[in-house]
Amino acid sequence: MENETISTKDRRAEFIRSHQKAIVGIVIALFVIPIGIIVGRMIYLNINNATLKVRVAPSDAKVLVGGKRYKNGEHRIKPGEYEVSITREGFEDYSETLTIENRGYGEIYLCMDNTDGVDWYHNDEKYAHLCDEIHEHQYDIETAKKFSDKIFSVTPFHSYEKGFNIDAKLNEETSKITVTIEPLSCRYERAKGLEKNALEWLEKAGLNLDDYIIEYYEPCVGGQ
């Protein structure tokens, strides 16, 4: 029995010695492969550290960004400048240049215009629903940009000392900003001078007046 036990131990030892390289290889692989996967993933995310959001109707349109095709959804992408091309039979081709900053994101939201004479919006429920989502998103983005405009950080401005009031309002239908200037004088020439002063005040505040619709409120014109 003792000789049999020794023989079994010898066989095990011999098996380990003969398969030592394979065993070591398996053990190393169990550690190296997961680490390699993790490192590879980290490198991929570090290189492709920007985000591309695509939402195009019809959903089967061919969307090429830098020559690579993308479907609707969110994708990882390298930061940089890309040529965008969107085509679909029966619809007008679309192209643009898209710049995506490092760790930033780019968006492609487009409801394509059809050229085949078919009323897609009313005949295709999925197309109509997707277009509604796209238009709503575009409006929200535009509105957010407008409300972040510097004009809203300096208005409303009401000053009896300077002789004018300035107010700004966003037109929700057109997404345009209207600036209303009210001179605090009933004398025509004096009112015109105050309007000019108000415009100069806005320019000194760092605003480009060409970006706004300027309106004047003159309730006292013709008065004393």
Q: What are the boundaries of each domain within the chain?
A: 2-47, 50-147, 151-216
Model pLDDT, residue 18: 60
Model pLDDT, residue 171: 76
What CA–CA distances, in Å, run from 57 to 60, 116, 118, 125?
8, 15, 14, 11
- Taking only the tens place, the pLDDT of each residue in 10-24 is 565 565 556 565 555
3-state secondary structure of 85: strand
- Taking only the tens place, the pLDDT of each residue in 78-107 is 888 999 999 999 999 999 999 888 878 889
Q: How far apart are CA 191 and CA 22, in angstroms?
A: 94
pLDDT greater than 90 at residue 71 = yes
Architecture of domain 50-147: Sandwich (2.60)
Q: How far apart are CA 149 and CA 144, in angstroms?
A: 9
3-state secondary structure of 19: coil
- Taking only the tens place, the pLDDT of each residue in 1-58 is 444 455 665 565 565 556 565 555 565 655 556 655 555 555 444 555 789 999 999 9
Cα dihedral 62, 68, 70, 76, rounded to 10, equals -160
